Amino acid sequence: MSTPSISTSIRNSLEELAISDKASGIKAKFSVDLDRVDRFSFDFGQFYMDLSKTHISQELLSIYLKFANEIDFVAKRESLLAGERINNSEDRSVLHTLLRDISNQGISMSDDDVLAQAKASKAQFVDQYHQIQQQLSKREHAIKDIIHVGIGGSSLGTQLVFEALKDLNSSIKVHFIGNIDAHQLVDVLSQCELANTLVIGVSKTFTTAETLQNLDSIADWFKAGGVNNPLAHFYAVTAAPSKAHDYGIPSNNIVSFPTWVGGRYSVWSSVSLSAALVIGIEKFEEFLSGAAALDKHFYTQSPETNGCFLAAMLDHYYVNFLCVKSRAIFAYDFRLRSLVDYLQQLETESNGKDRQRNGDPVDQQTSPVVWGGVGTDVQHSVFQMLHQGTSLIPSEFILVRDPDHDLVEHHKELLANGLAQTAALLEGQDKAQIDSIHAQDGLTDLAKRAKIFSGDRPSTTILLDRLTPKALGALLAFYEHRTFCFGVFANINSYDQMGVELGKRLATQVKPLLDPVKPIQDSEQTQKSAEGFDPSTLSLLSKVGSS
């Protein structure tokens, strides 16, 4: 029998509090705690976070502080920073924070060589960045399009950084290709001119099937345009330089990063080369420094004043004790349109686990579904469910106070909508209010009752002064540490991703079965390959393969 990940006393206390919170709601908390906004709002320097419209309370915090002591949270945080092998299923350290702060906040590493590797890697990236810029400046045709080929962690963060931080009048457009679906590739190539296009392939191992097949097809496009040796003009970003060289990329065109850089944490490394080439290395360094400043908050603040701990505490409480299944994130800034995709991978790939750290099945709920969109578009689709739906969905609103354009009325409208939604989710409206508001409108009683919604729906507001490189770096580092904290609460390993491997392996077995020349029924070899698949999959294979 496995050891429970939450003690009986902590679980009982949280279950009792949840019963009380369901009965009283959030609005009542403001009336009994006049300092609630100040008490549960935090200034991280680069952004401000207001948790007061959630179920947070001093009682909840007190229980989680006891929980933190029981699971030795502070020591686990120290283990992360000291480079201990906290990714126990793969026997690896988690070292991505070194990419943005090679001083490691003054904390001693368990392996001194790692700091030297981090320093050398950062210096190498800066040096290679300048070399590439020099090479590009000597080209006969200026680069107008960069095709960034990578999938998952080899693309999502870089795309977010590019979209968020590029100048509005940038002369270079970066196209991100991750999907093996050739419709995406064909669409991108149709927008590019051969002479003005740079290709950067990104893969940690340089064996990623989708990435290599997309690079092959782009190379064919170059050949069709008269380029005899297209790979000589490609760049590779990888932790396996020899693999990239074997593929055909010249050594001078290979940018490396350490093997200890995990995919969904690689945005801080040379994986973001294509974004750095557009925004400039200075802005990229500021992006790293913003993250390092947030690291310092997480490393030095005690749990009761640690914004990352408190946000994760709420995530854990909602999922396990208030029956929440999802969390919504809404970025009220078009430049952050890829943020939800990035955070979706960060949180669900990290904490979507059903195994405890010792391999036993979990005895609690883990990652909620993370979803969302860009305001105000989503207000005209999913917000109906947020306000009146039967599921409790904590929501996060990310706002930017000062825009980088001069259309003041547009931005006022944007901010007004974002702030109004958080107020509406909290307040709701009852029949008496509706009767007063629509007294002269001649609405039927049925129409009025249809306008009732309860309120007491939790929301968090994150406010950036401006969307600067430092602010973006701090924001992403905040979500990283929040994800770590949740994993500690749930007693899971946040740094492996075993769940994605089976489907990828089976895909290699499925592909040969799609050959229309050799239907499954007609070949002894294909029949053997099909062994082990369920009847539904076999039926679908037959239909697809016979087309």
Strands (E), 348-453: 369-374, 395-400
Burial class (CB in 10 A: 0-12, 13-18, 19+), 123: exposed
Catalytic residue chosen out of the listed positions 138, 183, 380, 405: 380
158: amino acid identity, one letter: T
Q: Which of 27, 119, 504, 511 is catalytic?
A: 504
d(CA 132, CA 60): 53
Kindly provide the residue ranges of all beta strands, DSSP E only, lying in 168-217, ordered along the sequence.
173-177, 197-202
Q: Give 249-262 as a DSSP string.
A: --GGGEEE--TT--
| Bond prior to 508 in cis (omega within 30° of 0) | no
204 is catalytic: no
Cβ(434)–Cβ(451) below 8 Å: yes
Q: Say which of 349, 411, 480, 481 is annotated catalytic.
A: 349
Closest alpha carbon to 148 in 92, 214, 66, 207: 214
If DSSP codes are grouped into helix, strand and coil, which group holds residue 6?
A: coil
- Tokens 């609690």: give the residue: 364
- 299, 77 contact by CB (below 8 A): yes
Q: Is 504 marked active-site?
A: yes
| Annotation marks residue 141 as catalytic | no
Which SS3 state, helix, strand or coil, does residue 355 take? Answer: strand
Question: What is the end-to-end Cα distance of the chain in Å, rounded?
Answer: 51
User: Catalytic positions, please?
Assistant: 349, 380, 504
